[in-house]
Amino acid sequence: MNNFKNMKQLIFTLLIIILFSCNSRAPIDVKQIDSQEAVTILPSLKNPLIKDSLSLSIPIELEIHINSSKVSYITWNYIVNGKSQYDDTFDYQVYNKRNKTHPISNLNANDLSHSRKIINIILKERNHLISKKEAKELLKKYHINRSLDNLKFGDTIKLTTYDKFKKENKEIIKNITKINDSISFKVTRGEKYFFFLDKKINW
């Protein structure tokens, strides 16, 4: 009889542990991967009149794992050195890797269909300025014959993929890493439940 009671208590305890584990699991996990998207050189978008500096746009790829079928909405906020970047035209843009033709500001019900448990987004930031001299050295390094004079809005010079750039330009990456950058996710699950996740960006 005692053995039967002990067995019931053990089963009950295991069920509680399992239910608690399921309920406490984060609705999403985010993993940064070394992207094969292109690092690019752009004119300074915030101030096109600046002629001695250019923007170095580095793509960050984030792999979002959906752990709950109840996730209905995901938004984010890009943070540079403790300050939120609100201008998603000039500061940064985010793309769904499955469709990189238009920038997005969220993942909604259409993106979060139950058939897709992993979604990759690409964050292309535009805050890192380099001198025109540094830009010319990068063009020479990657055998790109392009003029940096009179670059205008919409002009883009592709260098190489981020995974290669990171290995081949350690000093540039080291300088960028000095600034603490992160992306903050807000997840809507159900109608009233919110979950927040901060992910530090490892340049």
pLDDT in tens, the chain (203 residues): 555 555 555 555 455 444 444 445 789 999 999 999 999 999 876 666 667 889 999 999 999 999 988 898 999 999 988 888 876 667 889 999 988 888 999 999 888 876 678 999 999 988 788 999 999 999 999 999 999 988 887 899 999 999 999 999 999 999 888 888 999 999 998 777 889 999 999 98
pTM for the whole thing? 0.80
| Gyration radius of the chain over CA positions | 22
**Measured between alpha carbons, how far is residue 9 from residues 21, 23, 189, 196 in Å?**
18, 21, 33, 36
Residue ranges of E strands in 36-170? 38-43, 53-57, 59-66, 71-80, 83-85, 92-96, 99-104, 106-107, 118-125, 129-131, 157-161
Using an 8 Å Cβ cutoff, are 118 and 93 in contact?
Answer: no
Q: Whose structure tokens read 């752009």?
A: 42
Rounded to 5 degrees, what are φ and ψ at 142?
Answer: -105, 15
Q: Are strands 99-104 and 181-189 parallel, antiparallel or unpaired?
A: unpaired
pLDDT for 3 equals 58
CB atoms under 10 Å from CB of 157, counted, come to 21
**Measured between alpha carbons, how far is residue 135 from residues 31, 53, 157, 196 in Å?**
30, 8, 10, 38
pLDDT for 110 equals 82
Burial call 63-93: b when 16+ CB within 10 Å, e when fewer: ebebebeebbebebebbbeeeebeeeeebbb
Q: Length of the chain in residues, anyone?
A: 203
